[in-house]
Amino acid sequence: MSGFDSNPFADPVDVNPFQDPSVTQLTNSSSDGIEGFNPFTENSKLTNPAQTTIPAQIAPSQPAVLQPSVEPSPQATASAAQVNLLRQQEELERKAAELDRREREIQNKSSGSTKENNWPPLPRIFPVKPCFYQDFAEDIPPDFQRTCKMMYYLWMFHSVTLFLNLLACLAIFTVSSSNGVDFGLAILWFVLFTPCAFVCWYRPVYKAFRSDSSFNFFFFFFVFFIQTAVYIIQAVGIPYWGNSGWILALSVIGTNNAVAIIMMVVAGFFTACAVMAIILLKMVHSKYRRTGASFQKAQEEFSQGVFTNRTFQSAASTAASTAAQNAFQQGN
């Protein structure tokens, strides 16, 4: 019959759940494996050959390495200190030489000794005497002598270029009579700009380096900037301006090639003058920043120079006395 024929009120049969064959088999195998495991042996395996252990792969770790602090060796420290001492010694020697030079200048001025002008170097039998005194080794500090000499060479190159410009304009005048204006202006530029360049921008930079004058530095920068612009205009060569520049030289190529070559050479000279002027302007400016000059010092030097000028003092006293007399006459 079916399962419903059993007596539900009968005593239950004692059933041990742990007597199940599947459970007993599993527990026996587990206990055998635990008993055969020895954790202190290298190749410990369970007694059950069916079970295998997969060793965990551990990534190799590298120990943290601290970068040792690199300390300079005693020799490197000593050499650096020696270089620093040599630099300081050179600076002190330069300042000492500058102080000695200024002291000699003060002594010469106090003793009343005047230096004889030596430029331009003219023969003694010549009726015109030199107008300026120039000595780079005595007047200019060693740090500024090279720059000052380069400015002097630029002025000489400037004078030669203006003379060649005169010859080039004469050559084009022989080819075309309409360019007589260029020849006349070229004569004027040579006669006018040669001495004016010497007085207006070379002598100021010479005196600025000689006496560390802020006023002369600023005057030089103002005039020489205009001179650089003039060089660029002369190199361009606008017709009928008296300059043998590129435009005027190229316009003569079809007419007379020989004259065109001469004018192109002069145009190259003007271009070289412009390039050298820009380079020297930057060089003088870098030297100026090292001297400690300033616009305030330039104002003070200008005011002191004006008030200590004898011509200005005499003119001021004459004007004051005239004004006082006029006021007294009007009062009476």
Contact partners, residue 37, CB within 8 Å, separation at least 6: 44, 45, 46
Give first-to-last CA distance, the chain, whole Å: 168
Answer with the residue of higher pLDDT: 201 or 319. 201
Smallest CA-to-CA distance from 120 within 187, 220, 199, 224 is with: 199
b or e along 66-75 (b: 16 or more beta carbons within 10 Å of the residue's beta carbon)?
Answer: eeeeeeeeee
Q: Nearest-CA neighbor of 261 among 244, 274, 276, 275? A: 244
Residue 214 has pLDDT above 50, yes or no: yes
- Angle at which helices 142-175 and 180-197 cross, to 10°: 170
Please compute the mean of the pLDDT values over residues 126-138 and round it to a whole number.
89
The pLDDT tens digits for 228-279 are 999 999 999 999 999 999 999 999 988 889 999 999 999 999 999 999 999 9
Q: Identify any residues that bridge with 132 across adjacent strands, giving them in sequence order.
A: 119
Position 58 scores a pLDDT of 52
pLDDT(204) > 90? yes
Residue 208, pLDDT above cutoff 60: yes
Q: Determine the pLDDT at residue 128.
A: 85
Contacts of 247 (CB under 8 A, 6+ apart): 236, 237, 238, 239
What tokens appear for 304 in the block?
């002191």
The confidence score (pLDDT) of residue 270 equals: 97
Q: Is 1 exposed, middle or buried (0-12, 13-18, 19+ CB in 10 A)?
A: exposed
Kindly state the percentage of the chain with pLDDT values over 90: 39
pLDDT digits (tens, 9 = 90+) for 62-75: 555 555 556 667 77
97-117 pLDDT, tens digit each: 777 777 776 666 555 456 788
**Cα→Cα distances 82→70, 76, 77, 86, 93, Å:** 21, 10, 9, 6, 16
